[in-house]
Chain A
Amino acid sequence: MILILLLILPFLASLTLFTGKLGNHSRNFALISSMVIFVISVVVGYAFTFADDKILSLDLDLEKLLNIQIILKADAISMVLVMLTTLLVPIIITSTSRKENRTHNFYALILLMEMALIGVFTSSEMILFYIFWELALMPVFFITAIWGGENKKKITVKFLIYTLFGSFAMLIAILYLYTLTPHPHSFSFESFYQLHLPYSVQVPVFLAFFLAFAIKIPLFPFHSWQADTYNTSPVQGTMLMAGIMLKMGLYGIIRFLLPITPDVVAGGSLIFLPLILFGVIYGAIIAIRQPNLKKLIAFASLSHVGIIALGLLSNNHYGIEGGILQMFSHGVNVVGFFLCYYMIVKRTNTDRIADLGGIASVAPRFALVFLIVVMANVALPLTNSFVGEFLILLGLFQFNKVMAIIAGLTIILGAVYMLNMYKKVMFGPQTKATEEFEDLSIREMLLFVPIVISIFWAGISPSFALQMIEGVVKSLITNH
C-alpha cells in the first residue's frame, strides 16, 4: 500500500504547486515534499529488504472506473531506480538558485516528472506503464520549451516528435502482444512474460521495443536529438533527462527485451550490438573535441549509457548486474557533473572550455568535489562506476571477446576527455571569467554530500547493492 503513496504524494504536491497559491514558498514547498518522498522511499526500501519474496506489490481493481488495472510491483531493480529518482529530485530542486526566480510551474513540473518516473519504475501493467512512460515526457518537454536557451523551439519539437515516434512503435508492439495473450486478454507483465514467442515473432517485437528504448536512452544511431536538447534545456531539465529519464529506456530493456524476446537477445540482438558499440566509441571520440562542457557531457553520456546497454544485452548475469548498478551510478555521477557545471556557469556565465582556467587555485573546495565527480565518471577504482563498468566488461567478455576489448577502450578515451577537460578548466592560468571565482558555500557543499557519499559507498562496498539485485537477475536469466 505504501507504494501508491510514492505516486500520490508527488502528484498532489505538483497539483498544489500548479495552482500557484504558494507564491514565493513554491521552492521550499517543492523541496520539502521531495524530501518527504525520499524518506518514504527509504521506508519502502526498508520494508522491501524485509519482505519475504523480495517483492512489494499492489493490485487495485479499478477496471470499472478506469478500464485499466492498477498493478504496481517493486522488485530490486525497481527499488534501485526509485531510490535513484527520489534521491536525485531533491538535489535537482535545491540546485535552482534563488536568483533565477523560477515560477511555481517549474517545480510543479519537476514533481510531476518524479511521479511519472516512479510510475514507470513500479507499474506492472503494460498500459499503466505506457501512460507513465508518455507522461514522463511532458514535464521535461515543457521545462525545455519554456525555460530553455537558444533555438529551443526547433529543438524541443524535434525532441518531442522523435521520442513520441519511438513510444508509438512500442504501443503497436504492446497492442500486438496483447492479442497473443490467452483469453481473456490481459495487459499484465506476467501474462506477457508467459508468451514464449517463436523467433519470427520475437524479431519485430524486439525491433519495436528497441526503437522506443534506443531513442529514449539514446543509443547510436538514434541519438541526434540528444546533444542539442541537453544543450538548450535548463540545467535542471538536463539533470532530469540525463540522470533519470534515460534510465527509463534501460529499464525497459531489462523489463521487456530480456524476458519477452530472449532468443533475439541471446542471438546478439540482431545487428544492434556492434552499432551500440560503435556509438560508444564514437561518443567518446566526439566528446574529446567538444568546445563546451554541456555538449561534452552529452556525448560522454552517449558513450556511458551505450556501455550499460551493452552490458544488459550481453545476456549473462555479470553484464546485467553491472548494468543495473551502473544505471544508478551513472545517474548520480551525471547529476554530480551537471551540478559542477552549474556552479561554474553561475559564477562565470560561460561554459566554453577555452574561456575557463585556473579555477583550482582560487576554489580548492570546488576543485576537490569536481575531481571526485570527474574520477567517478572516469570509473577510477573505489568509485561507483568502476564496479559497474568492470562487471559490464566482464559480462561482455564472456559474450564476445573482441567487443569487450573494443568497449574497454572507452575507459581510456573517457580518461582522455575528462582529464583533459579538468586540466583546462581547473589548472593553467586564470582567465577573465574565472578571476573572481568564489569557492563553494556551505549550502552548496551540502548539495554534494549525498552524491559523494553514494559515489564512494557503491565504490567501496558494492556487495550490498549486488546482493539485492542478484535474485532478480538470476530469475531473468533462468526464465528462458
Chain B
Amino acid sequence: MYAIITISIVALIVLMLGALGHKKPLLPVVFAGLTLAFGLNLMGWNQSVHLFNEMYIADNFSIAFNGVLIFTTILVFLFAPVYYKPVKRPLEDVYALFLFALVGALTMTAFGNLLMLFVGIETMSLSLYILAGSKKFDPNSNEAAMKYFLTGSFASGFLLFGIALLYGASGSLNLEEIHQYVVAHQAHLPGMLHIGLLLVAIGMTFKIGAAPFHFWAPDVYEGSPTLITTFMATVGKVAAIAAFFRLINSSFAEISEVWKLTLTIFAIATILVGNLSAFYQDNVKRMFAYSGIAHAGYMFIAIITLKESAAGVLLLYTMSYTIATITAFAVLILVREETGTFNIKAFKGLAKSNPTEAFAMTIAMLSLAGIPPLVGFAAKYNLFVAAIEQGNLPLVIVAIIGSVISVYYYIRPIIAMYVSKPNEDIVIESSNSYRRQIELAAILMIILGLIPGVFINLI
C-alpha cells in the first residue's frame, strides 16, 4: 500500500516539476521514488495486510509480483534517457503516466474485490492508451492509440458486465465471499455465474493479449513508441496475468471443471497463434508482439494447473520473460536509433561492431526460446512439470511444439548478428552507460538462471 502511495506522490511531484519547467531532476526523482517504493513494498513481506474492507490484500503473492513490476519499471526507466534524447521538452506527462500505469498494475495484483480489479485495470489501461499515442505527430502512434483504446474499452465493457453477472449470481464482489458461495453451491451453479465468469475471462484474456483476443497486440505494439511497447509487453502483461491468476485461484479453484477446458483451449490457441505468426515476421518489433502472445499462452499453463507451487513458477516465468524482453528491446531501441528501421536486416553484423549488445541480445533470445541452462528453460520446464503432474500431457506437447517453432524466429536475429555481413555504411554507436545497463540486464538474466529454485519456493 505504501508503495502505491509513494508512487502516486512521486508522479504528482514529477508533474509539478515539469510544470515549473525543471527537466534535470525528473529522472532522479523517479528513480528515487521507485527505489523507495520497491523497499516499502518488500517490507510488508509475510505480514499479509488486508485493507479497506478486504479491497486491497498485501499478501506474499502480491508483494512478490509488485516487486517484479516495480523493478521492471525501474529497468524501463533506465533506458528512457537514451530513448528520449532527441526530445527537448521535459516529458513530465509521459513519466507521470508511466507511474500511474504502474499504480494501476500494482493494484491489479493485490485486489480483494472485483471492483478494485476493475479500478486497477482501468487505471493502467487509460494511462497506456495515452502513452501509446504519446508520439503526437507520428500517424502510427496515433493509430495504435486509437486501436488500443477502442478495442480496450470494449474489453473493459465485457469485464464489467461479467463482474455484474458474478455479483448477480453470488451477491458479492468480495473474492472470499464469492469463493464461499461457489463452494456452497458447487453442485448447481446458476448459468449467470458461468456466463459472468466467461465474460470476465474474455476481458482478462484481452488485457493479457492472449488468443483469441489478441488481435490488437501486434498493431499496438508496433505503432507505439518502443519504450512504451517495452512497458506494455512487460508490466502490462505481467500485471494482467497475475490478476487473472489471483482471481481464479482465490475464488474459482474448486470448480475447475467450469473453466479449465476453456482456458486450456485459450492456452493452446495462444501458443500456436503466437508462435506461428511470429515465424513470418521480418519486423523485429512485431515479432516481439507475437512472441509476447506466445508467452502469455505459456503463463496460462500456470493458471490451468493451479498447484500450490504454480504461483512461484509463474513468478519465475514472469521474471525471466520481463528481463529478457527488456534486454531485447533495449538493443532494439539502439539499433532502431542508428538505422531507422525495425527490420531484422538492421541487426546484420552487430556482433562485430557491438559485441556486448549482441551478446546480451543472444542471451535474451536463447532464454526466451527456453534453451538450457538459461532461466527461460528453468521457467518453462517447471511449468511443464506442474502441468504434467496433473496429467495434462496434450497441453505440454503443444507447448513443447510451440517451443520448437519459437527457436526458429528467436535464432534469426542471432544469425543476423553473428553470421551475416555487416551493413557497410551504418555504424551503430552506443554510449558507455547504455552499454553498462544492457550488461546489467544480461548479468541479471544469467544470475536468475543459476538460482531459479529461490523464486519458485518463494510463495
Type the 1/0 row for B419-459, where 1 means its CB is closer than 8 Å to any CB of A: 11000000000000000000000000000001111101100
Contacts of B391 in A (CB 8 A): 179
The residue that A153 contacts in the complex, of B373, B419, B450, B454, with Cβ under 8 A, is B419
List of A residues within 8 angstroms of B373 by Cβ = 131, 135
A153: chain B residues at CB < 8 Å are 415, 419-420
Q: Do the beta carbons of A145 and B419 come within 8 Å of each other?
A: yes
How near does chain B come to A113, taking the closest CB pair, in angstroms?
14
B400 CB contacts on chain A under 8 angstroms? 168, 171-172
Q: In the bound complex, do residue B453 and residue A62 qualify as a contact, i.e. CB atoms below 8 Å apart?
A: yes
Q: Return the contact of B415 from the options A63, A132, A156, A178 (Cβ within 8 A).
A: A156
Closest A residue to B384 by beta carbon equals: A175
Set B371, B397, B415, B453: member contacting A66, Cβ < 8 A: B453
Q: Across the interface, do B378 and A67 meet the contact criterion of CB distance under 8 Å?
A: yes
Stretch at the interface among B11-19, B20-28, B99-107, B404-412: B404-412
Is B393 in contact with chain A by the CB < 8 A criterion? yes
Contact between chains at B401 and A134 (CB < 8 Å): no
B407 touches A175 (CB 8 A): no
Contact (Cβ within 8 A) B418 A179: no
Contacting residues, chain B, for A178 (C-beta < 8 A): 385, 388
Kindly state whether residue A406 has any CB partner on chain B within 8 Å.
Answer: no
A67-B456, A157-B408, A175-B385 given; A138·B366 CB < 8 A:
yes
Contact of A157 among B384, B401, B415 (CB under 8 A): B415
Q: How far is the CA of A366 from the CA of B15 in the complex (A)?
A: 79
Q: How far is it, in angstroms, between the C-alpha of A92 and the C-alpha of B391 when the chains are bound?
A: 46
If A130-B372, A165-B404, A168-B404 touch, whether A66 touches B452 (CB-CB below 8 Å) is yes
Q: Does B389 contact A (CB under 8 A)?
A: yes
Interface 0/1 of A119-133, CB less than 8 Å to B: 000000001001110
Query: Residue B382 at the A interface, CB < 8 A?
Result: yes
- Asked if A172 contacts B371 (CB within 8 A), the reply is no
Give complex CA distance A148, B419 in Å: 9
> A175 is contacted by which of B377, B388, B454 (Cβ under 8 Å)?
B388
Interface size for A (C-beta < 8 A) is 34
Is A275 among interface residues, defined by CB-CB distance under 8 A?
Answer: no
- Asked if B418 and A142 make an inter-chain contact with CB atoms under 8 angstroms apart, the answer reads yes
List the B side residues contacting A64 at CB < 8 Å: 453-454, 457
Verify if B215 is at the interface (C-beta below 8 Å from A).
Answer: no
Q: Which of A62, A127, A152 contacts B381 (CB 8 A)?
A: A127
Residues of B within 8 Å of A176, CB to CB, are: 388, 393
Residue ID in chain A nearest B369 by CB atoms: A164
Nearest chain A residue, comparing its CB with the CB of B449: A66
Residues of A within 8 A of B404 (CB): 161, 164-165, 168
B352 to chain A, nearest CB (A): 10
> With the chains together, A178 CA to B381 CA distance in Å?
12
Residue B396 interfacial (CB < 8 Å): yes
- In the complex, whether B403 has a CB less than 8 A from a CB of chain A is yes
Give the residues in chain B near A67, CB-CB below 8 Å: 378, 382, 452-453, 456-457
Q: Which residues in B have their C-beta under 8 angstroms from that of A185?
A: 389
Q: Which residue of B lies closest to A130 (CB)?
A: B372
Whole-angstrom distance between the alpha carbons of A63 and B454 in the complex? 9
Among A67, A132, A135, A168, max chain B CB count under 10 A is at: A67
Evaluate contact between A65 and B453: CB separation under 8 angstroms: yes
- Closest chain-B Cβ to A231's Cβ sits at a distance in Å of 16
Q: Which residue of B lies closest to A165 (CB)?
A: B404
Shortest Cβ distance from A96 into chain B, in angstroms? 19
Indicate which residue in B372, B378, B396, B418 contacts A146 across the interface (CB closer than 8 Å).
B418
Q: In the complex, which of the residues A66, A132, A156, A161 contacts B419, with contact meaning CB atoms closer than 8 Å? A: A156
Is A8 an interface residue when CB atoms closer than 8 A count as contact?
A: no
A43 within 8 A of B: no
Decide if B454 touches A168 in the complex (CB within 8 Å).
no
Q: Given that A160-B407, A179-B391 are contacting pairs, would A131 and B453 also be in contact in the complex, using a CB cutoff of 8 Å?
A: no
Interface centre among B366, B371, B393, B403 (most CB of A within 10 A): B371
User: Chain B: which residue is nearest A185 at the CB level?
Assistant: B389
Chain B neighbourhood of A171, CB < 8 A: 381, 384, 400
Q: Are A172 and B452 in contact (CB under 8 A)?
A: no
CA of A142 to CA of B365, assembled, Å: 14
- A179 closest partner in B (C-beta): B388
Chain A residues contacting B401 (CB-CB under 8 Å) are 168
Cα–Cα, bound, A161→B411 (Å): 10
Q: Which A166-222 residues sit within 8 Å CB-CB of chain B?
A: 168, 171-172, 175-176, 178-179, 185
Contacts of B377 in A (CB 8 A): 131, 134
Q: Using CB atoms, name the residue of chain B closest to A144.
A: B419
Among A63, A131, A148, point to the contact of B372 (Cβ < 8 A): A131
Whole-angstrom distance between the Cβ of A101 and the nearest chain B Cβ? 15
> Considering only CB atoms, which chain A residue lies closest to B452 in the complex?
A67
Shortest CB-to-CB span from A411 to chain B, Å, is 38
A 22-33 binary contact with B (CB < 8 Å = 1; else 0): 000000000000
| Chain A residue with the shortest CB-CB distance to B407 | A164
A152 to B414, CA, bound (A): 13
Q: Contact at B419–A152, with CB atoms within 8 Å?
A: yes
Q: Which residues of B contact A134 (CB under 8 A)?
A: 371-372, 377
Residues of A within 8 A of B450 (CB): 65-66
Instruction: Name 8 interchain pairs, CB-CB below 8 A, sorted by A.
Output: A66-B451, A66-B452, A67-B382, A148-B419, A153-B415, A164-B407, A178-B385, A185-B389
8 pairs of A and B residues whose beta carbons are closest in the complex:
A67-B453, A131-B372, A134-B372, A175-B388, A168-B400, A65-B453, A66-B453, A145-B419
- Having A67-B457, A176-B388, A178-B385, one finds 12 other A-B pairs with CB under 8 Å, namely A66-B452, A66-B453, A67-B378, A67-B453, A134-B371, A135-B372, A142-B418, A145-B415, A157-B411, A168-B403, A172-B393, A175-B385
Chain A interfacial positions (CB closer than 8 Å to B) = 62-68, 127, 130-132, 134-135, 138, 142, 145-146, 148, 152-153, 156-157, 160-161, 164-165, 168, 171-172, 175-176, 178-179, 185
Q: Which residues of B contact A (CB under 8 A)?
A: 351, 366, 371-373, 377-378, 381-382, 384-385, 388-389, 391, 393, 396-397, 400-401, 403-404, 407-408, 411, 414-415, 418-420, 450-454, 456-457
